[in-house]
Amino acid sequence: MRIRTDGDYAYRRDAIERAADFYDCNKTKAVVSACDDVPKFVQAARQVLERDDLTLEQRREIAETLSTRAMTFDIEDEIVVTTE
């Protein structure tokens, strides 16, 4: 698999290099690790946001903290995750 990192996709190189630094491994393993971790992270975030002992305001603050450029957690009457 090849990932374009030229031109408008230059930000991808930075993201992959940050992941490699974070995981302290090569870029390929970093991409695979991130792909493995993200679904687990989202599931864990949903579990935290669904806790009965948190106020609505606490849930909203946590959702805002956990949201990223590519994924947002919105708190309403239910937990909604949006990916772009």
Phi, psi for 21 (deg, rounded to 5): -65, -45
Q: Is the pLDDT of residue 59 over 70?
A: yes
pLDDT digits (tens, 9 = 90+) for 39-50: 999 999 999 999
The torsion angle over the Cα atoms of residues 27, 28, 30 and 34, rounded to 10 degrees, is: 140
- Tens of pLDDT, residue by residue over 7-17, are 999 999 999 99
What is the pLDDT, as a whole number, of residue 69? 87
